Amino acid sequence: MIKVAINGYGTIGKRVADAAAAQKDMEIIGVSKTRPTAEALVAVKKGYPVYIADISKKAAFEKAGIPVAGSIEEMVQKADVIVDGTPGGVGESNKALYEKYGKKAIWQGGEDHDLAGFSFNAHANYKDAIGRQFVRVVSCNTTGLCRVIKALDDKIGVAKVKAVMVRRGADPHVVKKGPIDAVVLDPPTIPSHHGPDVNTVLPHIDIVTMAMIVPTTQMHMHAIQMELKRESSRDEVLGVMKAHSRIGLVQATTGIKSTAELKEYVMDLGRPRSDLWENGVFEASVAVIGKDLYFFQAIHQEADVVIENVDAIRAMAGDVKDPEVSIKMTNESLGFVAI
């Protein structure tokens, strides 16, 4: 059993906790919280030991009905692998602690590539992560791009990618962030950082990205254009996508044309937290004109990286050497079959 600790039990952390807890080869030995909020209460209900950042707040947690198992430092000592789910930029400050106890740790996409020195996507570079101490799972957008680019590059060849990322303004429960009624260029310069971030996983891909933020909470939408290395066909491209265990095709017959309807569909399927772990490629949108491929894909920011974290844990622990074996273990444990 790989002993997994979640440092930062928030949007990503709580999902990774549940997904890791569902693996036969993993157990959650603790999760950390800074304040005794609703999420901490849920951790208690799920039976995860709660460790806290500032041990002087122990009484406040216990008054709120949350037994405190100890400090984050104690949690780290008990773990084999720590998944750091603290907010972007904060994760960096935890590195010394993980190093102090010689622990393996995974950071998320809010941290720079250099912090871990290795950026991960299960289908792209699982093998290179085997046995590593530090790994960064790339961001939700980058994960979504890497999956589909890697698959098409392997089977058909990708000469150039131009992607426009229309991003959600904030996660659904985040009420302080906007915009309320605006399209915000983020950044207003071109290219955005997403292209270089794809290159931390797939260094040889020629990619230019443009990004903006819109007033929605549900999912990101990618408008993707690719120049393939040779002429292809819509059917060939759809075939590559269908064959990928983490790319889903939103069928035209479902009538789904938006992120909101797609979210409703995965909700109705009974997925935990209505999570879309896979890329949601809109089948009707896939168009091939000569060497040019066009399509839309929805990326559920809270979900797609979760299963990548699980594979990253397994790769770092080192017992499962074959990416396909790990990916299958992860997917099956969650009852996950791409839509």
Active site residues: 140
Q: Is 146 in the site for ligand NAD (CB under 6 A)?
A: no
Give Cα 207 to chain centroid, integer Å: 20
CA distances, 274 to each of 23, 166, 219, 261, 302 (Å) = 19, 21, 12, 12, 10
Residues 272-301 that bind its own copies (CB under 8 A): 272-274, 282, 284-287, 289, 292, 294-296, 298
Nearest C-alpha neighbor of 15 from the set 38, 54, 43, 34? 43
Tell the smallest beta-carbon distance from residue 256 to its own copies (Å): 6
For position 301 contacting ligand NAD by CB under 6 A, the verdict is: yes
Question: Residue 119 or residue 279: which is nearer to its own copies going by CB?
Answer: 279
Residues between 42 and 81 with contacts to ligand NAD, criterion CB under 6 A: 53
Does residue 8 belong to the site contacting ligand NAD (CB under 6 A)? Answer: yes
Which of the ranges 77-85, 102-110, 267-275, 317-325 carries the binding residues for its own copies, by CB under 8 A? 267-275
Asked if 55 touches its own copies (CB under 8 A), the answer is no
Half-sphere exposure of 300 toward its Cβ, with a 13 Å CA cutoff? 31
User: Which residue in the set 21, 44, 69, 208 belongs to the binding site for its own copies (CB under 8 A)?
Assistant: 208
Among its own copies, ligand NAD, none, what does residue 32 contact (CB within 5–8 Å per kind)? ligand NAD
Q: Is 45 in the site for its own copies (CB under 8 A)?
A: yes
133 binds, among its own copies, ligand NAD, none (CB under 5 to 8 A by kind): none
**Closest residue by Cα to residue 109 from 138, 132, 85:** 138
Q: Does 175 bind its own copies (CB under 8 A)?
A: yes
Interface stretch with its own copies, choices 25-33, 75-83, 138-146, 263-271 (CB under 8 A): 263-271
- Minimum separation from the CB atom of position 293 to ligand NAD (A): 26
Work out whether 90 is an interface residue with its own copies (CB under 8 A): no
From 82-90, 122-130, 238-246, 266-274, span contacting its own copies (CB under 8 A): 266-274
In sequence order, the 6+-apart residues with CB closer than 8 A to the CB of 104 are 80, 81, 82, 98, 132, 133, 134, 135, 316, 317
Omega before 172 within 30 of 0, i.e. cis: no
Using CA atoms, how far apart are residues 59 and 50, in angstroms rounded to an integer? 13
Q: Are 34 and 54 in contact (CB under 8 A)?
A: yes
Across 108-136, b (16+ Cβ under 10 Å) vs e yields bbbbbbebbebbbbbbbbbeebeebebbb
Name the DSSP letter for residue 102.
Answer: T
**Residue 85 touching ligand NAD (CB under 6 A):** yes
Measured distance CA(217)–CA(224) in Å, rounded: 21
Q: What is the 3-state secondary structure (H, E, C) of 113-128?
A: HHHHCCEECHHHHHHH
The reply to whether 140 sits in an annotated binding site is yes
Q: Which residues bind ligand NAD (CB under 6 A)?
A: 7-13, 32-34, 53, 85-88, 90-91, 108-111, 139-140, 171, 301-302, 305
